[in-house]
Structure 1
Amino acid sequence: MFIPVLFSLFTYLNLFLIFLFFVKKMDLFNLFYGSLQLTIVLFFVYLILLMKWINKMVDIVTNRIFDTFSRFSPKENHQTDSLTTISQLKRFSKEQQLRKKNFFKDDAKDRETHLFDIKENVAEVEMPPSRPLMGLSCDYCTSVSRESLVNKTTEKFALNNILDHTPTIQKNGFFQRTFPHLNQVYQLKKFDYPQVAEVVLKDDRLKRATEKTALQQFADSEKNDDEFYQELLKNNHKRAHKLLYGMRSTLSDFLLRFTSWVLYKLLPCFLSCVVAHPGQINMLKEAGKTSLPLIFLPLHRSHLDYILISFILLNNNVRSPLVAAGDNLRIPFFGSLLRGLGAFFIKRRVDPIMGRKDFLYKAVLHTYMNECLRAGHNMEFFLEGGRTRTGKPCMPKYGILSVIVEAFMDGTIEDALLVPVSVNYEKLVDGNFVREQLGQPKEMETFGAAIKGIWHVLNSDYGMMRIDFNQPFSLRELVKTFNQSKKVPANGLKKILKSNPSTTSLYGTDVVSDEHKSLVESISKHIIYDCAKSTSAMSTNALAFLLLTKFREGATIKELVSALDSLRNELDQARKDLGFTGDSIDVVNYAVELLGPGLVRKEKVNGEDIIKPIAILPNVIELTYYSNTLVTHFALESIVAIAIHIVANAAGRVSHLELIETVLDLCSLLQYEFILCKPCQNLEHVVLGCLDDLNVRHNIFVAAENDTEQVARSKRIARQFDDDDLDEAATEKPYILSSETSAVEHLNFLRGLLMPLIETYAVTAFTLEKLVGRSLLENELISNILNEIRLQLSQGSLEYEESVSVDPIKNALKLYQKWDILECHAENKLRLYYLKENQDNTESVNFLYQRINKFRQSPKN
């Protein structure tokens, strides 16, 4: 039945191409190339549908065989052993299996009695477990927004699987029953998506940028006649037109609906469910009724992110956004498809040559975005810039957000609603990033690679995808709050942890005024922090985290279950939502199966199952990716534990001031790895709160005799206010470490979480000695650092294989630039590193190494 449909579709599409050949004067090569593309795509669609049909037939046959054997099989256990493999093909819960077995064992009389009892004694319906409504906006920065859009009756609703669609119409006819997904996309609300290209070309900003670029080129040229200038001006007009039409989106309501129908068919092939909270969806629906643009700001884990976000919004009657996509995705067929689904393509590096600004490109992009916002489009872009390679949220890039903020500041839009979005997968759909983390260059996206990747995905199991739409909040309110509270603490913490912006993005250029740069940075970091906080921990995250941090040598199922129970309790207390439910033993077995033998191995030792992580290169890099979701959650506690370990003396006494100073020093070291507090918070107060929480939950300190509960409570309250309100005498009083086994073990566990990163930073500092008196290209320097890490691992100087990772090395190099130790000269795609003149000696490099390596050393005596 597939072949006639596909043949008809192929025929109609080729007739359309021939029509374009005669009417639109399409050249013969493009006609042939388009027809070839259609043939390839339809062939793969046919294979996908055929595989899906075969899988469905296998499931039906398997189910019927299972039912037959369950009905007629003998009761002796040894006679049913041969059916084990058949029964495993069908995934039942324990309750379902027991109910099915008992049902077929009953004779006719028992069944009648059983049915009578069911009719007379109606059992209570067990409701699915509810989930807290995560991602509410900051009660300090956006208190008004926090009270809006929230429906109290939906806060505790159970999660919804977006793929399980039930038609909501009252009258279910034949068409609705037979084609529920087709009916669903037909019933969707229709939105207009106006095109703004012609308006952009007439904009004064773009005209001024064209003239400025022409004048710059004229000044650089040896010619000085007016005819040459007019030619330059004309060429720049043509370039602006080409840039705009290469960049713009062609968002289509029909293509959105058609793709939605296709996704309803394809997503179940590789995802068990796509889960969202109905309370969050309701907030988006209410926000969509306003006249304000919604700006979706998701964490970026997979190319599937923006497709699924548009899919969910469309099917909940929320206007689909325009999505900023890297121009590396502008590949044949798929680039056109993404453009029709809302993508507009932007360059990763706006200024390819150091010191030469591409004013024309920036003006085209800025004007296009402004006009889209003015036309009522929603927008979506990734603050991280690209997909995370480590599983941790990346530091934000400020370029596109700065355009949104500037559009608000200059009155283009009266306000916008910012929507942070957290996305997580049980198993990463795009594959791992092991090659890149081991220093190999990134593979560029191609048409062939995309087809191969789609085929692999559709024949794999990636478990569940969880998405959390945080509460929309007003940009106007956030800007007002930040402008009213521009106070830098006396200790200068805000200044210490301030990042350096990219010099090749829209941020920090003529597009963004200096007075708004700090504002854009604060908003960006707040959003990334909010997204990380509301990201749900999946079963694979929990298992990888426990195996790498507690059971690197392996553990029994019983030990893993006990550890997972403790972890779940701790995450519940911290209001960290979990992306899984059920008994911990089922969660462990499920996660082991999903991660697969390449990452987790199950062995039999003395008749007992032992679960071991593959904690060697390269497998450990991928396992670390899953673990890092929870490492981010415990990052500040780990920093505190490391600091306690360093400053504690032999008697277990810890100086308060020395502890805080050490914690802040380590926070500064890891500022490109984690956002440890919201920009509206004081870091020192957050650290003190973390110390209190650790002490309350794990009793890491022994209470002093005269430190009553009332005094301790008073100090906690005082820390919520300014530094002047703290009892200085109390802060100078030393902590006394508890000697209880549980407290010591917990501090050691926390300390180990960030040791791989500290090892990487220390070896990177050590390897800078190779730059004394010379310079190296970035790829050569990183290669030298990776080789040094491998050497020290083989010698036993380092403990963690996951220290071999490119991203932390790059972050360390950024940090050393900020500390005025390194200098970097960039041109095109090349980056040249060399030591600052006053640091270009062995003594300075050794001092830097000792400054970092102290965090790995034993406590002082």
Structure 2
Amino acid sequence: MADPRGSSSPPNLSARPRDPRRPSNPPPQRLHRAPLAAKRWRQRTESGRTYGQIPFLREVSLHVSGSGWRAYDHFIGQPIFYTGFSENMTAAVLSTPILQKRISELAEKRVGFEEKEGLLRRDDGLYAAKKSQRKAVIENQLQELAEKMTGEMICKMESRPFIRGAYYLCTQLLTRAYHQGIHVSSEEVLRLRAVAEEAEKKKQSIIFLPCHRSHVDYVSLQLICYRLGLALPTVVAGDNLNFPVVGSFLQHAGAMWIRRSFGDDVLYTTLVQSYIDTLLQGGFNFECFIEGGRSRTGKLLPPKFGILSFILDSILSGRVEDTIICPVSTQYDKVIETEGYVTELLGVPKKKENLADFLSASSLLSLKLGRVDVRFHEPWSLREFIQEQQARTTGIPKGVDMKSLNDQGTKQKLLRTMGYKILSDINAVSVVMPTALIGTVLLTLRGRGVGMAELIRRVEWLSERVRAKGGRVAHFGNAQTAVVIERGLEVLGKDLVGLVEGLPEPTYYAVDRFQLSFYRNMTIHLFIAEALVCASMYARVKAGGRPENQRIPYDELRTQVLFLSQLFRGEFIYPTEGLAANLDNTLKAFEADKIVDLVRDEEGKIIAIDLSDVERAAGRENFDFYCFLIWPFIEAFWLGAVTLMGFVAPNTYHGDGWLDVKKCQDSAQLLGKTLYHQGDLSYFESVNKETLKNAWTRFEEEGIIQVAKSRTSKSPPKAKLAPEWESKRDPTTGVLIPEGRLWDFTEKIAQSRREGKNRRDGATVSTRVLRLTDTIGQALYADSMADAEMSEEDKVLLKKQQQKRQAMQARAHL
């Protein structure tokens, strides 16, 4: 399972006692020798021989005294850790022209309001003086408020001894939980150092944009930057983590606090922009998470554009000349928070972060969670990216022409392209961990369990598939696959993977499929094109009969692949070649792998597709593998669409039809749990809240549902079915009639669902499932009767939101 991208083993950056006779600040090339030292260290600890107290005390003393690289005196980057750093940063932020202009505008607006209210009178002989004086008072108040908010927001990296102590503490904690250490690629590290040296000369910032699966993400990246001698980045963090003790610690270690939502606070928005401008103008490194929050499902989330838009605006406005983008992938053998993620995805409200829960996490340090792999994509210039995009769309090869980029539509398109490029770069360097391989295999079996020999065979097959797709498998030297699998099973633990003993062959099985799906989803991005094709073929394959009856015409396959790819366009990141090229490339690869036979006409054009005899003889194991990857997502979106059928108002209802959005989404989860336990849903992970929310968002984009968001936070968002998508009810019985546009849409998704004994035709859906859907829907309408109807102001706002959404839409519909 070697890494195909390089012959050298990735270095292990876990902290370990070190011989003081060795050079204290080795050259970067020494990183190549780290795995051997790590191996010797593990051999000593695993055999029961641990280091004594003297080496431990020596290690502590080296950190306290700041000897060698631990001193962190000669890092690559702009000066930090000096007395007055925070005061200087605050002064620089408050003096930015855009902030001063905003304060003046707000003061002028407030004075105008007071004048309209009669507090300032034009007929007063001292009108001009009073107005000027009042504006100055308001500006001073706003200035004080901005200073207070800046002090609460900015990072305060002032003390080098504090950072040395924080590094030592975090390293000891992290490498005890992840006992196999933090691993990086030597080649990527050397390249990053070279880029950092060049950026330092040009006084440019490196913006690290990691994926986000765990709170460990920002800790591991800070540790790597410290160990490699790079200036620590300022990390964008939600203020939900800014609770007593921990918040102060993180802020002095590099965190900047921002609100989860800015609302209509233009002063705060401008303040954030000013701070980001100041950091980028000064060449300070910066870090934010492209997905916004942590992924609870294991796969990359769609990009969040909030902080990216600030960064892009800094360049487009000319306030910052250029900055360097560095996408980062962080992969884990086991994520500490997955058990909590499952609870949240099943609908239990997320607990607010607090010190007690933070301290209780220390119990996890006794666990063996494997290792962390951090990979850095080749950094790239944001200015050059903008120029490349502009050359493609406007034909202007050089320079940033602001006139062509000042409209909101163009900026949004540029921002979206940038966001998905970063996600694609992260996927390109991501490493597939052994636990992800094991979890994927266990969740793509038709049987209940698997023996070790078969598990080894399928893991090796999957590893080869990953490499064939250009992916990377975690490097474990010369270790045999069986040894790597045993380590992975140990990390996953008996709560996720069970073992049945006393059989002719010990058999492993998935205990907690929901939690294990987190690790399966770490591989799905590599095979999304294959999964879409196989799920589209399944519409014919599940019909059974002779092989020729299961043959699917190319045009029919293409139509269903297009439908599914459009359905999941907010869920997955697709190859950039386009639908036709992706489909043909996938089919040809399947033909080479003997999964399908392609029927061609005289000109060599593909006209139909069959499952190959070889694949049928193998029990369809490879074809089924790709179907199993995407079936839980198909079921989740089918569940979301079925739930919408219940939003048709009862015949006896006379309200405006608007329902509480949260209650609607909760109803989908409730329906899904019912259908799973009654056998109409195959995958319990299909009821997870995040995927159902993504389905809801997709239906809103498609215009199937209308969502109205009030101006006030006290009034929750409301939703209703668009009139053209509403199904009909029997005028006598009030029962939903299984026909119409929404029903056809649901059935088209159902074509690619996994077949089951309770789901072989539409009769089940049109009877029992629709009855349950209607029962839950009528409960929603009963609740809505007690709520006030939508205000006229919110109706006007809804109309504007719909017009804006229609103006921004430029993509094909389902």
Gaps of 5+ in 1: 1-128, 134-154, 352-356, 489-509, 707-728
Inter-partner Cα distance in structure 1 for 2:178 and 2:407 = 42
User: Corresponding residue for 1:804?
Assistant: 687
Inter-partner Cα distance in structure 2 for 1:378 and 1:527 = 17
Q: Secondary structure at the match of 1:374?
A: helix
- Aligned: 1:578 with 2:463: no
Inter-partner Cα distance in structure 2 for 1:653 and 1:203 = 66
**Partner amino acid, structure 1, of 2:641:** A
Inter-partner Cα distance in structure 2 for 1:857 and 1:776 = 31
- Aligned: 1:547 with 2:454: no
Q: Secondary structure at the match of 2:431?
A: coil
1:299–1:421 CA contact under 8 A, matched in 2: yes
- Greater shift, 686-695 or 787-796, is seen at 686-695
- Greater shift, 545-554 or 279-288, is seen at 545-554
Inter-partner Cα distance in structure 1 for 2:19 and 2:321 = 38
Inter-partner Cα distance in structure 1 for 2:360 and 2:110 = 44
**1:275-319 Cα shifts (integer Å, max 9, x gaps):** 101111101110111222111000001111111101101211111
User: Corresponding residue for 2:100?
Assistant: 207
Inter-partner Cα distance in structure 2 for 1:168 and 1:664 = 62
- Aligned: 1:639 with 2:532: yes
Distance verdict in 2 for CA 1:168–1:319, change over 3 Å:
farther
1:389–1:807 CA contact under 8 A, matched in 2: yes
User: Corresponding residue for 1:767?
Assistant: 643
Aligned with residue 515 of structure 2, among 609, 617, 622: 622
Deviation of 1:170 (Å): 5.6
Distance verdict in 2 for CA 1:225–1:686, change over 3 Å:
same
1:631–1:753 CA contact under 8 A, matched in 2: yes
Aligned with residue 186 of structure 1, among 71, 88, 94: 71
Distance verdict in 2 for CA 1:188–1:315, change over 3 Å:
farther
Inter-partner Cα distance in structure 2 for 1:217 and 1:772 = 47
Deviation of 1:343 (Å): 1.0
1:306–1:323 CA contact under 8 A, matched in 2: yes
**1:650-692 Cα shifts (integer Å, max 9, x gaps):** 44433223322221211111112101124xx434322322222
Distance verdict in 2 for CA 1:647–1:213, change over 3 Å:
farther
Alignment of 1:69-148 (within 5 A): 131-133=3-5
Q: Secondary structure at the match of 2:613?
A: coil
Deviation of 1:393 (Å): 0.3
- Aligned: 1:790 with 2:701: no
Aligned with residue 592 of structure 1, among 468, 473, 489: 489
**Partner amino acid, structure 1, of 2:342:** V
Equivalent residues, number? 656
Q: Secondary structure at the match of 2:531?
A: helix
Deviation of 1:699 (Å): 4.1
2:571–2:694 CA contact under 8 A, matched in 1: yes
Deviation of 1:625 (Å): 0.6
**1:763-798 Cα shifts (integer Å, max 9, x gaps):** 111111332233332331122111111221122111
Inter-partner Cα distance in structure 2 for 1:652 and 1:487 = 47
User: Corresponding residue for 2:697?
Assistant: 814
2:631–2:754 CA contact under 8 A, matched in 1: no
Gaps of 5+ in 2: 26-53, 121-129, 396-404, 542-546, 650-656, 729-739, 762-814
**Partner amino acid, structure 2, of 1:654:** I
**1:7-41 Cα shifts (integer Å, max 9, x gaps):** xxxxxxxxxxxxxxxxxxxxxxxxxxxxxxxxxxx
User: Corresponding residue for 1:756?
Assistant: 632
User: Corresponding residue for 1:663?
Assistant: 561
Distance verdict in 2 for CA 1:690–1:170, change over 3 Å:
same
**Partner amino acid, structure 1, of 2:487:** Y
Alignment of 1:449-488 (within 5 A): 449-453=357-361, 455-486=362-393
> How high is the sequence identity, in percent, across the aligned residues?
23
1:439–1:782 CA contact under 8 A, matched in 2: no
Deviation of 1:747 (Å): 1.5
Aligned with residue 694 of structure 1, among 582, 590, 603: 590
Q: Secondary structure at the match of 1:386?
A: coil
**Partner amino acid, structure 2, of 1:752:** F
TM-score normalized with structure 1 length: 0.72
- Greater shift, 213-222 or 308-317, is seen at 213-222
Distance verdict in 2 for CA 1:213–1:613, change over 3 Å:
same
**Partner amino acid, structure 1, of 2:431:** S
Deviation of 1:551 (Å): 5.5
Deviation of 1:759 (Å): 0.9
- Aligned: 1:312 with 2:210: no
**1:681-721 Cα shifts (integer Å, max 9, x gaps):** 43432232222222222341156596xxxxxxxxxxxxxxx
Inter-partner Cα distance in structure 2 for 1:177 and 1:443 = 39
Alignment of 1:323-472 (within 5 A): 323-351=235-263, 357-432=264-339, 433-453=341-361, 455-472=362-379
**1:77-118 Cα shifts (integer Å, max 9, x gaps):** xxxxxxxxxxxxxxxxxxxxxxxxxxxxxxxxxxxxxxxxxx
Q: Secondary structure at the match of 1:462?
A: coil
User: Corresponding residue for 1:299?
Assistant: 211
- Greater shift, 393-402 or 475-484, is seen at 475-484
**Partner amino acid, structure 2, of 1:288:** A
Distance verdict in 2 for CA 1:511–1:375, change over 3 Å:
farther
Distance verdict in 2 for CA 1:217–1:761, change over 3 Å:
farther
2:531–2:629 CA contact under 8 A, matched in 1: yes
- Greater shift, 810-819 or 626-635, is seen at 626-635
- Greater shift, 686-695 or 811-820, is seen at 686-695
Inter-partner Cα distance in structure 2 for 1:297 and 1:824 = 32
Aligned with residue 530 of structure 1, among 425, 442, 447: 425
Distance verdict in 2 for CA 1:732–1:542, change over 3 Å:
closer
- Aligned: 1:832 with 2:718: yes
Q: Secondary structure at the match of 1:733?
A: strand
Q: Secondary structure at the match of 2:751?
A: helix
Inter-partner Cα distance in structure 1 for 2:594 and 2:223 = 44
1:771–1:835 CA contact under 8 A, matched in 2: yes
Inter-partner Cα distance in structure 1 for 2:267 and 2:58 = 53
Aligned residues: CA RMSD? 2.9
- Greater shift, 595-604 or 768-777, is seen at 768-777
Q: Secondary structure at the match of 2:523?
A: helix
Inter-partner Cα distance in structure 1 for 2:295 and 2:56 = 41
Inter-partner Cα distance in structure 2 for 1:735 and 1:486 = 37
Deviation of 1:177 (Å): 10
**Partner amino acid, structure 1, of 2:347:** G
User: Corresponding residue for 1:241?
Assistant: 147
User: Corresponding residue for 1:275?
Assistant: 183
Inter-partner Cα distance in structure 2 for 1:515 and 1:199 = 31
Distance verdict in 2 for CA 1:521–1:425, change over 3 Å:
same
**Partner amino acid, structure 2, of 1:591:** G
Inter-partner Cα distance in structure 1 for 2:658 and 2:413 = 33
Deviation of 1:800 (Å): 1.4
Inter-partner Cα distance in structure 2 for 1:258 and 1:852 = 55
Inter-partner Cα distance in structure 2 for 1:392 and 1:855 = 21
Deviation of 1:750 (Å): 1.2
- In the TM superposition, structure 1's runs of 4+ consecutive aligned residues that sit over 6 Å from their partners are 172-177, 219-222, 857-860
**1:631-654 Cα shifts (integer Å, max 9, x gaps):** 222222100111122367844433
Deviation of 1:511 (Å): 11
Deviation of 1:761 (Å): 0.8
Deviation of 1:341 (Å): 1.3
Distance verdict in 2 for CA 1:570–1:197, change over 3 Å:
same
Deviation of 1:748 (Å): 2.3
Deviation of 1:223 (Å): 2.4
**Partner amino acid, structure 2, of 1:192:** P
User: Corresponding residue for 1:34?
Assistant: none
**Partner amino acid, structure 1, of 2:322:** D
